[in-house]
Amino acid sequence: MTATPPAGPIIALDVMSGESGVAEAVAAADIAAERYPRLSFLLFGQEAAIAPELARHPRLAGRARIINSDDVVSMRDKPSQVLRRASTTSMGMAIDAVKQGEAHAAVSAGNTGALMAIALFALRTMKGIDRPALAAILPTLKSESVMLDLGANTECDATNLVQFAVMGAAFARTVLGLERPRLGLLNIGEEELKGTEELRTAATILKSAQLPMDFVGFVEGDKIGTGDVDVVVTDGFSGNIALKTAEGTSRLVTGLLGNAFRASIWGKLGYFIARSALQSLRNHLDPNAHNGAVFLGLNGLVVKSHGSANARGLANAIGVAHDLVRDDVGRRISADLAGIRMGPTIGDSTTEPNAA
């Protein structure tokens, strides 16, 4: 730990809050360190548990520093409880490192509500953004797409939705590497008159916005998985329902598929012969492959990993953090907000866009 760390992005990694344990979390840092040679880490958690794991990964020598924290946020802790303990938990300390400028992004596999509450309280929303949103990467028939908000805001107005669109498009440009992502607003029909007043107002604003994206209008839930749009924007209630429904349906179909293969000797034999071909399906649907949801719109980057992600999955979430730091996604969002003209009915002084 005496070597000078590389001058690249510094990740504040919450080692303790996930469900997969310290060994997997440190192994994730090692995988990410191999992928990104300039990356270094601050590892937050119980030093006595982390140190022996760290010693197993020589690549991390000089690139990872442990910062001891004995307190851990559990999956059952309420956001109000964890806010009081923010300064003593691995999660709270990792986010504080971003606030203090000691790290460029925080990554945690912990309790989403707690992470959201601590991040919002410590980092506050960016100028021009009223509410942060949780964005994630989903598999599609063609490749991947981005959806937001996935549950940070139960109810949203048109201004929120427009801001989510700006943030989601910037996220897709960074993480999916698209120049002009195609963006749709989730609705219960594609016609202009469908849905709520908030959705119709947001669509009107987005239609006239000057942004590096193509607004395709309203999309229905069955378009989330087709790959016809790159960004799906919705309120946190519908977004969470859609995300969980997609996860549940994916498990339903693969579960029925497993039953079908097991039901007869021909099914078992067919599965045995096709098993390596079927591996590509499993890889494409593996949550670890698309890991790394992001709280967008804060003064600092916070990436949420699946609670049960393995080392490779958590390394993918660290990769998302790396890309967002590299592309300075916060600056992109600020610049893009200047391309939006809010109507007088919904804009007020606090929601006026301002170029960075």
Q: Which residues sit at the interface with its own copies, rule CB under 8 A? A: 139-141, 151, 154-155, 186, 188, 195-196, 220-226, 234, 236-238, 240-257, 259-261, 263-264, 266-267, 269-278, 280-281, 284-285
Among 310, 290, 302, 292, residue whose Cα is nearest residue 330: 302
Among 314, 315, 342, residue whose Cα is nearest residue 18: 314
**Residues facing 294 on adjacent strands:** 135, 303
Among 314, 115, 165, 145, residue whose Cα is nearest residue 246: 145
What's phi and psi for 234, nearest 5 deg? -160, 170
CB of 222 to its own copies, least distance (A): 3
Considering beta carbons, is residue 60 or 224 the nearer one to its own copies? 224
Contacts of 347 (CB under 8 A, 6+ apart): 159
CA distance 318 to 232: 23
CB of 261 to its own copies, least distance (A): 6
CB of 250 to its own copies, least distance (A): 6
Considering beta carbons, is residue 248 or 343 the nearer one to its own copies? 248
Considering beta carbons, is residue 142 or 341 the nearer one to its own copies? 142
Considering beta carbons, is residue 7 or 277 the nearer one to its own copies? 277
Considering beta carbons, is residue 13 or 185 the nearer one to its own copies? 185
CB of 248 to its own copies, least distance (A): 3
CB of 259 to its own copies, least distance (A): 8
Considering beta carbons, is residue 232 or 337 the nearer one to its own copies? 232
Beta-strand pair 133-139/301-304: unpaired
CA distance 236 to 299: 20
| DSSP category for residue 298 | B
Contacts of 279 (CB under 8 A, 6+ apart): none
CB of 276 to its own copies, least distance (A): 6
